[in-house]
Structure 1
Amino acid sequence: MVRDTDWVSAPTPLPTRTEVLVVGAGPGGSAAAAAAAKAGHEVTLLDAAVFPRDKTCGDGLTPRAIAELDALGLGDAFNGPRIEGLDLQGWGRRQQVRWPQASDHFPDYGSAVARTELDDRIRRHALDAGAAMVSGVKAVGATIIGGRVTAVQVNTAGGPAEIEVDKLIVADGVKSALGTSLGRAWHRGTAYGVAARAYVESGRCDDRWMGSHLELRDGAGALLPGYGWVFPLGAESGLVNIGVGALATEKRPAHMALRPIIEHYTNSQRDSWQLSGPPVRIASALLPMGGAVSNVAGANWVLIGDAAACVNPLNGEGIDYALETARFAVEVLGEKDLSALWPDLLRARYALAFSAARRLAAVLTVPKVVPVLGRPGIRSSALMSMVVRVMGNLITEDDTDLIARAWRTAGIVSSRIDSRPPFS
């Protein structure tokens, strides 16, 4: 495997014009740049950071994310452990639930790779495909004429500058500075996430299960409307990614001091995960979820991944959606007007699942509800298998089994009463 230290590239000068500008070199942006370059487009990939760089994340890769990496040609590019499923715990019970059997859509395993490695490897894949990379430059605004972005304004070390564009893909993350300047609005009436993660040395760093704790408590023993996780990153790293997340809405914000909670959670897992040393590199983030944003496209531009709130409301997973929406964006890149086409495409792909998931997530923001659902749920292997399938985004349009039909029906019912549907 190629290491970061093996990769040396000369700085790319800022172009004055490019056919396709991709803003944000996370998994979604880099995957879009790679796909667009492979399709024969002139592509410039731009990011405010200089790589490799860190990103607040759980680092987990579901089978759906693995499938997208395979499609991108990077299925064997990482040394993360082969994760068989989730080790779910809570209320004195434990269920180890494997990922569903391999299918035409997904493999039967996941993995976990630190974002310092994952993002930089996909970025380098885009460069290998022919994209040009400009680092340390932040996109801050755009010139719009007749609904089309004609140029993007950027801040560089040498001062402000401008890049003329034909097409624009915005993948600059949850805050999406460029998306906001284009009119993106985040609506917090539906569930959103508040999460923190850290890294700890672990004797079980090469474990084949992702730890997932459905009963999260603070140092005083009070039940919190959230969950905890421990994701092994492999023997080579010697680390696990450990974190806590909480669900919130505008009416029920999450009043959680994340640092003491993650420190308490780490101590609670110290023996079972053979942890040594304190949690380090603690970082936190807010997560728009379930398509809870509007203005995701214009005539020649689209928002993808986290910028478009394509994040699972039940667990904060977004890497698979970032990779998928990158692929979809390049597939429609040649269309004349994306302003209606893109949100319609996102709704067709995700609206039912997002609507049902964020409604359930909103219920889980009420602490008293969590044990009512959690206690009986953790006792049923069948129910936990369904939970893993839903949390892992592993239900497809082609699935016709009872669980898939029930989830789609829940989505249809939920969508009918949505005051603001996803991506609107």
Structure 2
Amino acid sequence: MVVATDDADVIVVGAGPAGAATAYHCARAGLDVLLLEKASFPRDKVCGDGLTPRAVAELVRMAVPIREQDGWIRNKGLRVIGGGHRLELPWPEISSYPSYGLARSRMSLDQLLAEHARAAGAKLHELTNVTGPLRDERTGRVVGVTARPVDVDGRRAGDEVEYRARVVVAADGVSARLATGLGRVKRDDRPMGVAVRTYFRTPRHDDAWMESHLELWAGEPGRSDLMPGYGWIFALGDGTANVGLGSVSSTAAATKVDYKALFAAWMANAPAEWEFTPNNQVGPVRGAALPMGFNRGPLYGNGLLLAGDAAGMVSPFNGEGIAYGLQAGRVAADAIAQGLARGTAAGRERALATYQGRMKDDLGGYYTLGRVFVKLIEHPEVMRLCTRYGLPRPLLMKFVLKLLSDCYEPHGGDVVDRTIAGLARLAPAA
């Protein structure tokens, strides 16, 4: 039985950062927004929980409270460990972004952003599993979605329903079920990352630096087996730290690496003072795929926009996805508001099509550079040379920090900013 239900100007599927940001900005633009989430809050998401200054700037645009008393911990920059070196690299002082990052568990971050969107006027429906697109029989345009209520374990809990809207945004994560249901398959020539993480109660919970381990050793560094991938330790300021490791491949080919076993080997040799012990572990080791470099598209077509992981918006440089999901929500909302204000269908479609153009113009060249970067670091000997001989060079590391964190002035700035911006403009935004 299909039951007609709420109509809206915009339906957003998925209440992660990309979906919540889209819903917030659309609601602020005066649109009637329906935000559908298959889980109930609070709910977990595999992530490093660290936000770069680029992501912080998006939170500021959304007027999200980001004071430490609001549950955040600020960080000064990135501590890099590898090749026998240990460097602390402060976030750059530039006009485009603040000079600090933030950290907060996704368990609370996603709920905060969803509630922020609801406070702006979006209607949030939790425990609503979207099952497919609803299409106009004549034109084939997406005009809504079909969905069914589920319980907290994901089991069906009611009749299938239809939700109709003038525009639908798929922010449904790496599975991208709405997009794949319309034939928008992922590109196998784009990078794919894999990450696993857990939490530990630790004295390091208030570390002022996000820490990245460019080499993972099965035992004593330099005297044991070098394992694939990189590791991180991000303090959350609440008595715990997010600890994880990941790797990236230049293609979407499945990896046969047992990352949980690698994580266990790394933790078995962690310094005792970190207290990364089984007794201090909070929750299981969980893993997730990281779709990178616009691995699915088009970003808009026939009434459906893709945002966040559903569009493969994770950076190939650093595995960052939150900043780009938030940015996509802002840009998508602007295109939607402009489109729905047009007097004709043709005018609406022209405005909606600007979403892909703006996202590709801003990130396409940068992601192309990221694909080149991934192809280089896939070779262990290249990565080893880079860490051993590149880390001690201050100018080179300034360049690397700005490039990897995407925290550079796109217009103007110093010679490093101009170099990165020039490279990104020259790289094809495919």
Identity of aligned residues (%): 33
CA drift of 1:339 comes to 6.3
Alignment of 1:54-69 (within 5 A): 54-69=44-59
Distance apart, 1:302 and its partner CA: 0.8
Q: 1:153 aligns with which of 131, 146, 158?
A: 146
For 1:282, the equivalent position in structure 2 comes to: 285
Query: What is the alpha-carbon distance in structure 2 between the residues aligned to residue 339 and residue 95 of structure 1?
Result: 44
Contact 1:84–1:109 at 8 Å: present in 2 too?
yes
Could you say which residue in structure 1 is the equivalent of 2:197? 197
Partner residue, 2:176: 176
SS of corresponding position for 1:198: strand
1:90 equivalent in alignment to 2:93: no
3, 17, 29: which one aligns with 1:39: 29
Q: Name the counterpart of 1:212.
A: 212
The alignment status of 1:301 with 2:304, answered yes or no, reads yes
Supply the AA of the counterpart residue of 1:217: W
Paired residue secondary structure (2:47)? coil
Distance apart, 1:412 and its partner CA: 4.7
> What is the identity, as a one-letter code, of the residue corresponding to 2:113?
I
Q: Residue in 1 aligned with 2:265? A: 264
The residue identity in structure 2 corresponding to 1:350 is L
> Aligned residue for 2:98?
107
Partner residue in 1 for 2:116 = 125
- The Cα shift of 1:149 comes to 1.1
Q: Distance in 1 between matches of 2:288 and 2:236?
A: 21
Matched to 1:150, the amino acid is V
Q: Note if contact 2:187-2:252 (Cα within 8 Å) is conserved in structure 1.
A: no
Change (3 A) 1:411 1:271: same
Q: Which residue of 2 aligns with 1:359?
A: 372
Write out per-residue CA displacement over residues 68-94 of structure 1, whole angstroms, 9 at most, x where no aligned residue: 111111143632221001110012111
Aligned residue for 2:244? 243
Relative to 1, partners in 2 of residues 1:410 and 1:401: Cα closer, same or farther, differing over 3 Å?
same
Q: CA deviation at 1:204?
A: 1.3
Relative to structure 1, the CA distance from residue 43 to residue 188 in structure 2 (aligned partners, 3 Å threshold; closer, same or farther) is: same
Q: Is the 8 A contact 1:20 1:43 kept in 2?
A: yes
Contact 2:21 2:329 in 1 (8 A): yes
Q: 92-101 or 31-40, which moves further after superposition?
A: 31-40
Letter in 1 for 2:143: T
Aligned-pair CA distance for 1:100: 0.5
Give the whole-Å Cα distance in 2 for the aligned partners of 1:104 and 1:400. Answer: 9
SS at match of 1:360: helix
Distance in 2 of aligned mates of 1:14 and 1:93: 62
Q: State whether residues 95 and 381 of structure 1, in contact with CA within 8 Å, keep that contact through their aligned partners in structure 2.
A: no
TM-score calculated relative to the size of structure 1: 0.89
User: 2:14, 2:170 within 8 Å by CA — same for their partners in 1?
Assistant: yes
Q: How many residues align?
A: 402
- Residue ranges of structure 2 left out of the alignment (5+ in a row): 150-156, 340-347
In structure 1, C-alpha distance between the alignment counterparts of 2:427 and 2:361, rounded to whole Å: 15
Distance (Å, rounded) in 2 between the aligned partners of 1:160 and 1:75? 37
Once the two structures are TM-superposed, the CA of residue 294 in structure 1 deviates from its matched residue by: 2.1
Q: 1:345 to 1:251 in 2, by over 3 A?
A: closer
| Deviates further, 202-211 or 384-393 | 384-393
Once the two structures are TM-superposed, the CA of residue 47 in structure 1 deviates from its matched residue by 0.7
Three-state SS of the structure 2 residue aligned to 1:125 is helix
What's the CA shift for 1:388?
A: 1.7
Distance 1:188 1:399, change over 3 A: farther
Question: CA offsets, 1:379-406, max 9 Å, x none?
Answer: 2232222222122211242234322232
Establish whether residue 80 from structure 1 lines up as the match of residue 72 from structure 2: yes
What is the TM-score when the length of structure 2 is the normalising length?
0.88
Check conservation: 1:296, 1:308, Cα contact below 8 A: yes
Quick check: which one's helix share is greater? 2
User: Aligned AA for 1:290?
Assistant: G
Distance 1:218 1:15 in 2: 56
CA-CA distance at 1:41 after TM superposition: 0.8
8 A contact 2:144–2:167 mirrored in 1: no
Is 1:374 equivalent to 2:384 in the alignment?
A: no
2:363 is aligned with 1:350: yes
Q: SS state of the match for residue 16, structure 1? A: strand
Larger mean Cα displacement after TM superposition, 81-90 or 280-289: 280-289
Structure-2 residue corresponding to 1:27: 17
Q: Match for residue 6 of structure 1? A: none
Counterpart secondary structure, 1:186: coil
Q: Distance in 1 between matches of 2:294 and 2:328?
A: 12
CA distance in 1, matches of 2:34, 2:224: 51
Are the aligned partners of 2:12 and 2:35 in contact in 1 as well (CA < 8 Å)? Answer: yes
Q: What is the aligned counterpart of 1:228 among 202, 226, 231?
A: 231
Q: Secondary structure at the match of 2:23?
A: helix
Rounded Cα–Cα distance in structure 2 between residues aligned with 1:282 and 1:174: 19
CA distance in 1, matches of 2:415, 2:110: 37
2: CA distance between counterparts of 1:15 and 1:390? Answer: 47
2:134 corresponding residue in structure 1: 143
C-alpha separation in 2, matches of 1:360 and 1:82: 28
Quickly say closer, same or farther: Cα 1:14–1:306, change in 2 above 3 A.
farther
